[in-house]
């Protein structure tokens, strides 16, 4: 049948089903290559995860992080269960299910040995949900190299200041307004001064902080503080020891005035610009005591009595003590009672007995290793941080510290 509506047939064009049009062959090949590459990546990830799972089990068994279960088939070893491996551009991590009754600190206690068994320099444990944690691995030891103190300053007493970087890479900070005096010990050249430079450089600009104290060396509280609002509350040098005693008595009097005028129904003073937190820095305090004892025993007792009062009553009046010594022997810092008042304790390179003296018997096992540690590395004991290693930030030397105080130190109104 014919009709005048019939249209002439056009030449048929080939259909490119396999390529999807011009240039489609190249796109198809690229997709196939990407699929093969993804399959190879997934297979490599699966094999690596299997290897890591086996290494993790062996490492946990080796350090004793396991349970031995007796069954009919024999003795079974149970370890924290390896979850999933994650590989990202920033690092390697995997999830772990803790054993019943386990805590993240169980893994942290063996962190270095576990990390080395896995072929890494260190690890950090991040709690997740329930009994699950994430173990983050580090290719390099965060304590192996120095790191510079940032140029930021603290504006308030309740802002955290940087103490250092832990061996798991996490930064350790401390707010001066939180309760707790600070004790720092270490041999000459161990890094004690660097930590002090960093702390004071960060606090020099705070509007509600006064950096006061006694420094017989004349360096930590030296001429760099001239012209700042902190200078009237500092005394240096060893020629006039009676002036140090009088200055400490003056600080105690300031503390007493605050305690007497404390508002009703208030048991501690919050730092403000009008009532600033007073950081009493006692640089080489044992040296000051020895010099005073050699000159006049009553003068030494006067100095000790003033420091004891600042330590025991200062928290309520917004006073904090930062004491630095080469060794925190009880008779060198005003007695065992004085030493017990420090909540934040840092020890750079010291003999094993000195480490246990300040941090307790739990730190004794760390003594042989710490006695020969590199400068700048310290052990820290503080609320929430029980004897962890950290590296103090590097300010850049004494000259750089003086420049920071001259630039950032709060000026008198």
Q: What is the 3-state secondary structure (H, E, C) of the chain?
A: CCCCCCCCCCCCCCCCCCCCCCCHHHHHHHHHHHHHHHHHHHHHHHHHHHHHHHHHHHHHHHHCCCEEEEECCEEEEECCEEEEEEEECCEEEEEEECCCCCCHHHHHCCHHHHHHHCCCCEEEEEECCCCEEEEEEECCCCCCCCCECCCCCCCCCCCEEEEEEECCCCEEEEECCCCCEEEEECCCCCCHHHHHHHHHHHHCCCCCEEEEEEECCCCCCCHHHCCECCHHHEEECCCCHHHHHHHHHHHHHHHHHHHHCCCCCCCCCCCCCCCCEEEEEEECHHHHHHHHHHHCHHHHHHHHHHHHHHHHHCCCCCEEEEEEECCCCHHHCCCHHHHHCEEEEEECCCCHHHHHHHHCHHHHHHHHHHCCCCCCEEEEEECCEEEEEEECCECCCHHHHHHHHHHHCCECC
Q: Which residues are annotated as a binding site?
A: 186-193
**Domain 59-140 matches domain 160-408 at the CATH topology level:** no
pLDDT in tens, 339-381: 999 999 999 999 999 999 999 888 888 888 889 999 999 999 9
- Position 85 scores a pLDDT of 94
Domain segments of the chain as ranges: 59-140, 160-408
**Mean local confidence (pLDDT), 99-115:** 90
Q: Which residues are annotated as a binding site for ATP?
A: 186-193
Class of domain 160-408 as given by CATH: alpha beta
Looking at CATH, the fold of the domain delimited by 59-140 is given as: 3.30.980
pLDDT in tens, 249-279: 999 999 999 999 998 998 899 999 999 999 9
Q: 403 pLDDT exceeds 80?
A: yes
Q: 20 pLDDT exceeds 60?
A: no
Percent of the chain residues topping a pLDDT of 70: 94
Q: 12 pLDDT exceeds 80?
A: no
Name the average pLDDT for the chain. Answer: 90
Q: 4 pLDDT exceeds 60?
A: no
Percent of the chain residues topping a pLDDT of 90: 68
- Position 354 scores a pLDDT of 93
pLDDT band with cut points at 50, 70 and 90 for residue 129:
confident
pLDDT in tens, 181-239: 999 999 999 999 999 999 999 999 999 999 999 999 999 999 999 999 999 999 999 99
- Position 6 scores a pLDDT of 59
Question: Under a CB-based contact definition with an 8 Å cutoff, are residues 237 and 287 in contact?
Answer: no
Q: 3 pLDDT exceeds 60?
A: no
């Amino acid at each position: 049948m014919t009709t005048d509506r019939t249209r002439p047939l056009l030449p048929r064009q080939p259909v490119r089903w396999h390529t999807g049009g011009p240039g489609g062959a190249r796109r198809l090949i690229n997709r196939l290559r990407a699929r093969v590459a993804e399959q190879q990546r997934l297979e490599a990830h699966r094999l690596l995860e299997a290897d890591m799972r086996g290494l993790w089990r062996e490492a946990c068994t080796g350090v004793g992080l396991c349970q031995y279960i007796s069954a009919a088939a024999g003795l079974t070893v149970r370890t924290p269960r390896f979850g999933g491996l994650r590989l990202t551009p920033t690092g390697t991590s995997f999830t772990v299910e803790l054993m019943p009754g386990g805590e993240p600190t169980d893994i942290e206690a063996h962190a270095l040995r576990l990390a080395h068994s896995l072929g890494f320099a260190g690890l950090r444990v991040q709690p997740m949900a329930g009994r699950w944690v994430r173990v983050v691995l580090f290719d390099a030891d965060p304590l192996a190299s120095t790191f510079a103190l940032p140029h930021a300053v603290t504006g308030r007493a309740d802002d955290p200041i940087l103490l250092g970087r832990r061996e798991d890479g996490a930064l350790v900070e401390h707010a001066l307004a939180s309760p707790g005096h600070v004790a720092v010990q270490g041999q000459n050249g161990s890094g004690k001064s660097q930590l002090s430079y960093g702390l004071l450089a960060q606090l020099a600009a705070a509007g509600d902080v006064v950096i006061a104290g006694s420094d017989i060396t004349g360096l930590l509280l030296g001429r760099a503080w001239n012209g700042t609002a902190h200078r009237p509350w500092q005394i240096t040098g060893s020629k006039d020891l009676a002036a140090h005693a009088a200055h400490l008595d003056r600080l105690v009097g300031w503390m007493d005035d605050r305690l007497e005028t404390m508002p009703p129904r208030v048991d501690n003073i919050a730092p403000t610009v009008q009532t600033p937190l007073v950081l009493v820095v006692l640089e080489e305090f044992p040296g000051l005591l020895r010099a005073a004892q050699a000159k006049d025993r009553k003068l030494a007792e006067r100095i000790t009595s003033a420091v004891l009062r600042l330590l025991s009553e200062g928290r309520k009046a917004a006073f904090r003590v930062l004491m630095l010594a080469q060794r925190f022997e009880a008779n060198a810092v005003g007695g065992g009672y004085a030493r017990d008042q420090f909540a934040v304790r840092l020890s750079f390179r010291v003999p094993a007995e000195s480490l246990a003296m300040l941090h307790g018997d739990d730190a004794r096992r760390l003594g042989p290793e710490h006695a020969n540690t590199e400068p700048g590395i310290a052990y820290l004991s503080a609320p929430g941080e029980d004897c962890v290693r950290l590296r103090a930030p590097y300010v850049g030397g004494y000259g750089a510290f003086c420049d920071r105080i001259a630039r950032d130190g709060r000026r008198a109104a």
